Structure 1
Amino acid sequence: MLNKLDDFPIHQTPEPIAHPATSDRNVYDRTWFNGYAADGSYYFGIGMAIYPHRGILDCAFSTVRPGERQHCFYGSRRAPMERTDMQVGPFRIEVIEPMKRARIVLEDNDSGIACCLTFSARTAAIQEARQTLWTGARRTMDATRFDQFGRWSGWVKTPDGEFKVHETLCHGVKDRSWGVRGVGERESGGAPRTPGGICFLWAPLFWEDHITHAIFFDGQEGEALVREGIVAPLYASEAEVPGVEDGKDRRMATARHRVKYVPGTRLASSAEIDLVDIDGTVRTIQLEPILKFQMKGLGYGHPEWGQGMWKGEFATGHESFDPHQLNPLEPWHLHTQQVVRASDGIRTGIGVLEQIVAGPYAPGGFTEFFDGAKG
């Protein structure tokens, strides 16, 4: 079970690259991107992942503009042994130069959605701290992730029209992660477990000459499971970006968050993030949402096109929906990203706030699994 990557000196175990180091059926390896205009006039998301023990390679592309429907393309196939094969039907990811440049192509298909987009890095690769979560004695998430902030160029076509993507306007983040996490169809059998509550926030932000990033996992009482804040340089051009890491990212001592919710929902109406430096200095960042994107458009929690779900040897699907007509408390509508304006009282920035709050969560006043914020 060899593939092209076995010709490089990169092995971490005696097995070929196609053999994951764990036998957990939920092992995965994902490439994910977002892109959005600084004025909030569009957002698009991109995802592709392989699930070696499930034997699946799937992908999705989704985009939304203010006042229009969110359009979604989904694809799935039997996973190839060749890990450099990053294509599902009309969709493909091309790594032009690792950690510098990538191209995403969705050729014309019956969804009416297509794109040709090029991502150009503006930061070195930034590794997040390893994220490990437990359910009882079982490790239900154990993942490594790195991010790169950058710019996009190209075009996107939807049933509602086509729009150009200009590098001067379009920001975005590449997110590479791998390890183990809950994907695919739910496991059955065994003693039933009562699910607990969890809050996840992810806030990569662009400023004039640097980026900030904050990552949070909270338990249902608001206890910190993961807390991380990062500040790193933003380079003016792709040519200035180091090939891998530059050693210039600064890790905060901790980070804190405060979220206000739209009444009757679990969607942020505003948020504040504190980046607490090692010397105790606190930088407080206010976030103002300006455009909402439903993460189910990339398969997150989707009842039919959920990530890692077997759809047959090859399948594609598509849908369009009005984000404002959805029930915000249905399970597959809780997970969102919002384009946000950012301010720390001195500088202004742009970025996204990703959030999902599921189950009881004391800081939000949520006591049931899917209740909304009190008015």
Structure 2
Amino acid sequence: MLNKLDDYPIHQTPEPIAVLATSDRNAYDRTWFNGYAADGSYYFGIGMAVYPHRGIIDCAFSTVRPGERQHCFYGSRRAPDERTDTSVGPFRLEVVEPMRRTRVILDDNASGLSCDLTFSTRTAAIQEARQTLWSGTRRIMDATRFDQFGRWSGTIHTPDGDIKVDEDVCRGTKDRSWGVRRMGEPETGGAPNAPGAFFFLWAPIHWDDHITHAIFFDGTRGEALVREGFIAPMYASEAAVPGVLDGREHRMATARHRVVYVPGTRLAASAEIDLVDLDEKVRTISLDPILKFQMKGLGYGHPVWGQGMWKGELEIGGESFDPLQLDALAPENLHVQQIVRASDGSRTGIGVLEQVVIGPYAPAGFTQFLDGAK
């Protein structure tokens, strides 16, 4: 089974590119973006992924503005044999120039949501450490991820009016990841397993001339499973970015986090992140949320449009909801991103704080699967 990528010298095994090195049904390959105005006046998210062993490609686009509904588009179809085909109905993702420029187009459709957006990078690619999580003796996540920070331009049409996206004010993050992680319909058969706990925090921040980034996976006692922090230069234009990997990112020795939760919920009211350098010097970043985005709008935990779920040969859908009127402790509403204002005492920045906490988590006082903060 050959496709266009087989004409490039990129093979990692003796098999064609379409044949994965793993037979795990949860293998995936995802492109994900966010975009947001520096003043918090809008946020949008984009996701597209292929699940080769599930035979599915799906996508989503969602946006929200303060005081308005969050609007969502979802699409899913049978995955094509041609891996360079990243279209799903009215949605398509075009890699204009690898690791520099990407265009996302959503044509008019029944959801009332459409866009024509271009992402232009302002950083070289930053590779996060390989992320491997276990459930007993089984890997439930084994993935590689890289991030790029940049600007957006274009237009978004929503049922509540249009958004002009100007690169002078719209920041964003590109997130490419691939490997294996749980998704889609749950597996059946075998001995039943107790519900798993999960803690994840992800905080990419734009400053005037650089970026900071921190990634956390914790166990139920707060023990570090994955902790990383980065500082990297941000360039004035896409043309000024020197290459795919410029080698100028500074990897911290470790990172720490402190989260204050909204009472009765698992939503961050504020947070602090410590970037700890090799010489033990600490840079503390305070984060103040200003706009909430529900990640179920991109399929994360969605009961109907969850990622990697078989919907048929081609199916599209959409919905709108008020994010302030949702049950904050319903499982599908726990996963959020919030636009945050950032400060380290001498500088200010803008970015996002992504969080999801499921099950017991001792540092927050969570003892049940879905209890809220006291």
Residue 221 of structure 1: aligned partner: 221
* Match runs of 1:242-321 below 5 Å: 242-321=242-321
How far 1:171 sits from its partner (Å)? 0.1
* C-alpha contact (below 8 Å) 1:74/1:317 kept by paired residues: yes
- The question of 1:349 aligning with 2:318 is answered no
Counterpart-to-counterpart distance in 2, 1:19 and 1:243: 29
- The question of 1:209 aligning with 2:209 is answered yes
* Match runs of 1:21-170 below 5 Å: 21-170=21-170
| Partner SS state of residue 345, structure 1 | coil
Q: What do you get for the CA RMSD once the two structures are aligned?
A: 0.5
How far 1:192 sits from its partner (Å)? 1.2
Unaligned runs of 5+ in 2: none
| Partner SS state of residue 327, structure 2 | coil
Residue 5 of structure 2: aligned partner: 5
How far 1:243 sits from its partner (Å)? 2.8
Task: Kindly provide the CA deviation profile for residues 305-324 of structure 1, in whole angstroms up to 9, marking residues without a partner as x.
Answer: 00000000000000000000
Counterpart-to-counterpart distance in 2, 1:271 and 1:96: 36
One-letter code of the match for 1:241? Answer: V
| Partner SS state of residue 324, structure 2 | helix
How far 1:197 sits from its partner (Å)? 2.1
Counterpart-to-counterpart distance in 1, 2:150 and 2:176: 14
Task: Kindly provide the CA deviation profile for residues 158-179 of structure 1, in whole angstroms up to 9, marking residues without a partner as x.
Answer: 1000010000000000000000
* C-alpha contact (below 8 Å) 1:115/1:157 kept by paired residues: yes
Task: Kindly provide the CA deviation profile for residues 238-273 of structure 1, in whole angstroms up to 9, marking residues without a partner as x.
Answer: 001123100000100000000000000000000000
Mean Cα displacement is larger for which, 164-173 or 235-244?
235-244
Counterpart-to-counterpart distance in 2, 1:302 and 1:19: 29
Task: Kindly provide the CA deviation profile for residues 215-234 of structure 1, in whole angstroms up to 9, marking residues without a partner as x.
Answer: 00000110000000000000
One-letter code of the match for 1:198? Answer: F
* TM-score, normalisation: structure 1: 0.99
How far 1:193 sits from its partner (Å)? 1.5
One-letter code of the match for 1:117? Answer: L
Counterpart-to-counterpart distance in 2, 1:244 and 1:22: 27
Task: Kindly provide the CA deviation profile for residues 145-165 of structure 1, in whole angstroms up to 9, marking residues without a partner as x.
Answer: 000000000010110000100
* TM-score, normalisation: structure 2: 1.00
Counterpart-to-counterpart distance in 2, 1:330 and 1:190: 27
* Match runs of 1:156-195 below 5 Å: 156-195=156-195
How far 1:85 sits from its partner (Å)? 0.3
Counterpart-to-counterpart distance in 2, 1:120 and 1:80: 27
| Partner SS state of residue 213, structure 1 | strand
Counterpart-to-counterpart distance in 2, 1:292 and 1:335: 10
Identity of counterpart residues, as a percentage? 78
Counterpart-to-counterpart distance in 1, 2:208 and 2:243: 22
Count of residue pairs brought into register by the alignment: 374
* C-alpha contact (below 8 Å) 1:196/1:360 kept by paired residues: no
How far 1:65 sits from its partner (Å)? 0.2
Unaligned runs of 5+ in 1: none
Counterpart-to-counterpart distance in 2, 1:207 and 1:322: 30
Find runs of 4+ consecutive structure 1 residues off by over 4 angstroms. Answer: none
Counterpart-to-counterpart distance in 2, 1:157 and 1:360: 40
How far 1:184 sits from its partner (Å)? 0.5
Mean Cα displacement is larger for which, 316-325 or 196-205?
196-205
